[in-house]
Amino acid sequence: MELSVIHELIGKELAGELTGSEQEILTAWLAQASADERAIYEATRHYWQAPVPTRITPSDTATALQNLLNQLPDTGSELLPAAPEASIIRLQPTQAVPWWRSRVAAAVGTVLAASTLSYGLYHRLTTPAGVPFAYEEQSTPRGATAKVLLADGTVVWLNAESRLWFPKKFSTGERHVYLQGEAYFEVSSNLRQPFVLHIEQEQVRVLGTAFNVKAYPEESTVQTAVVEGKVAFIRPADTPEASDTLYVTANQLGVYAKPTTSMHREVVDSRDYTAWNQGKLVFQETPLDEVARTLTRQYNLPVQLANEQMGKCRLTGRFQNQSLREVVQVLSMTGAFGFELSEERLVLTGPGCSRPVQTRR
């Protein structure tokens, strides 16, 4: 079972919101959990008992994280070392979410990061192949973004439900980092040390530029939108001759289609692809199933389609700093579909679409 599902169930249990069927799932998981996993569970419960303010804010979360780290006993093993060369500048929510989700995300994330044993387990289970074990990791849960400053001065903004792996300090060769999810990069220029971003099987190679990469495992494409400068979007192969390289410049989008392994380039307004960093949602004839996944990440609430045909609907619209209810109310006004919104999930209902739906706010 995915760790994110377990984290959700633990949070609901601690908040007293677990249903009977969910309790059975959690009990079954605990029955077969390893000693390390049970230790994570118990440590999370201990963390939860700490006093918490009525309203969780980013500063509350940051303070709680630091307090727990300060209270950890010295086990004789070195904890993950602080990295003055590379640092997390901020971690903030993208939208208002149920209060307990922020708290359990902080609890589970802190316990995993602070415990050498638990972190080793978590690292082995979830880190993609090829990522050096010594690399630092910064991840964002659903409903949150983060800003990370790398050792070379490169600034990275991580979108919701994303993971970034990077060294504390770059060596004299190429600068290698790894991404799963979505991030916007402002790369510090260094002609002698090209910046290489690894995304699944693909690479983005740059010298100094600003670009956005969207590479969620569940999406059918990997996209690179360039704001300024130029990047080489590379699909490696068994031999150099078989590799594909697509050069992408400002206001262009490089797209790699996973099902066909093909690559192509489009002319776009790159601001649409970095709008999430300003609290905006921008859809450009986006399939509704992709819209649902985006809303799930941004609002930390499962969004489901009542039937597969609805996934063929294409939506064009712009939203800024609006609640999930406000967004879906606007969508439902098109008449293409209705919705059922509860504390547990959002379900989009309807037969499907015969034409793209457009709405702007």
Radius of gyration of the chain (CA): 21
CATH 2.60.120.1440 applies to domain 130-277: yes
Which residues are 79's β-sheet partners? none
Q: Sign of dihedral through CA atoms 212, 215, 219, 222?
A: positive
Q: Is residue 309 helix, strand or coil?
A: helix
Per-residue pLDDT tens, the chain, 361 aa: give them: 555 566 667 777 776 777 777 787 788 888 887 776 777 777 666 666 555 444 444 444 444 444 544 544 444 333 333 334 565 555 555 665 555 555 555 555 555 555 444 444 444 456 777 888 889 889 888 888 999 999 999 999 999 999 999 999 998 889 999 999 999 999 999 988 999 999 988 899 997 899 999 999 999 999 999 999 999 999 876 555 556 889 999 999 999 999 998 999 999 999 999 999 988 999 888 888 999 999 999 999 999 998 888 888 888 889 998 899 999 888 777 666 788 999 889 999 887 776 555 555 5
Contacts for 56 with CB less than 8 Å, ≥ 6 apart? 99, 102, 103
Structure tokens at 310: 């609805």
Structure tokens at 151: 């050792």
Q: Which of 291, 140, 155, 261 is nearest to 212 (CA)?
A: 155
Instruction: State the helix-helix crossing angle for 3-14 and 99-114, rounded to 10 degrees.
Output: 120
Q: Which class for 162: exposed (0-12), middle (13-18), buried (19 or more C-beta within 10 A)?
A: buried
Q: Which of 101, 142, 106 is nearest to 293 (CA)?
A: 142
Q: Centre a 10 Å sphere on the Cβ of residue 169 and count the other Cβ atoms it contains.
A: 12
Residue whose entry in the numeric block shows the structure tokens 């739906």: 357
Kindly provide the b/e burial profile for residues 327-356, where b requires at least 16 CB atoms within 10 angstroms of the residue's own CB.
bbeebbeeebbebeeeeeebbbebebbeee
- Domains of the chain, by residue range, sit at 1-80+94-126, 130-277, 279-358
Q: What is the distance, to the nearest Å, from the Cα of residue 18 to the centroid of all Cα atoms in its chain?
A: 25
pTM of the model: 0.69
Task: Decide: 273 and 214 in contact? Cβ < 8 Å.
Answer: yes
CATH hierarchy code of domain 279-358: 3.55.50.30
Q: Where are the alpha helices (DSSP H) in the chain?
A: 3-14, 20-32, 35-48, 58-71, 99-114, 116-126, 271-274, 288-299, 324-332
Q: Sign of dihedral through CA atoms 54, 58, 61, 63?
A: negative
Question: pLDDT digit string (tens) for 18-27?
Answer: 777 778 778 8
Task: Decide: 146 and 184 in contact? Cβ < 8 Å.
Answer: no
Residue 197's Cβ-side half-sphere holds a number of Cα atoms within 13 Å equal to: 33
Q: Which class for 219: exposed (0-12), middle (13-18), buried (19 or more C-beta within 10 A)?
A: middle
Q: Centre a 10 Å sphere on the Cβ of residue 26 and count the other Cβ atoms it contains.
A: 19
Question: pLDDT digit string (tens) for 96-147?
Answer: 555 555 555 555 555 555 544 444 444 445 677 788 888 988 988 888 899 9
